[in-house]
C-alpha cells in the first residue's frame, strides 16, 4: 500500500527492504596509529550556552552524546594531534 505525501498528494513508492548483517560490515578502527582499537565508549560533552543566545535569557548547560576510543580516548572521527617536543 502506497501512502500519500502532503505536497502534491502523489503516491510515495515503497522501498525494497535490504537485509544487512552487521557481521559482514567492516569495523572502523581508531585513527590513532599507536592504538587502532575497534571499541568505542559512549560518553557526553557539556556545552555552556550564553544567556545572550539562550532562549530563556539565562545561562544553560546542554549535553551532547559522543564516542571515544576505549583504548586511547580519542574522539570518534577526530584526527590525533601530533605533540611536538
3 domain residue, yes or no:
no
Residue 56's pLDDT is: 92
Model pTM score: 0.61
Between 78 and 15, the more confident residue is: 78
Residue 13's pLDDT is: 74
CB under 8 Å to 79, separation ≥6 — which residues?
Answer: 31
11 domain residue, yes or no:
no
5 domain residue, yes or no:
no
Number of domains forming the structure of the chain? 1
Residue 4's pLDDT is: 55
Residue 20's pLDDT is: 92
Cell reading at 65: 552524546
35 domain residue, yes or no:
yes
9 domain residue, yes or no:
no
End-to-end CA distance of the chain: 65
Expressed as residue numbers, the domain containing 73 is 20-78
pLDDT tens for 12-52 read 677 788 899 999 999 999 999 999 999 999 999 999 999 99
Amino acid at each position: 500500500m502506497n501512502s500519500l505525501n502532503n505536497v502534491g498528494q502523489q503516491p510515495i513508492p515503497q522501498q525494497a527492504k535490504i537485509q544487512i548483517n552487521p557481521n559482514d560490515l567492516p569495523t572502523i578502527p581508531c585513527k590513532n596509529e599507536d592504538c587502532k582499537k575497534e571499541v568505542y565508549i559512549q560518553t557526553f560533552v557539556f556545552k555552556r550556552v550564553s544567556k545572550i543566545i539562550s532562549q530563556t535569557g539565562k545561562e544553560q548547560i546542554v549535553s551532547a552524546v559522543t564516542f571515544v576510543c576505549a583504548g586511547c580516548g580519542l574522539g570518534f572521527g577526530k584526527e590525533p594531534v601530533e605533540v611536538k617536543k
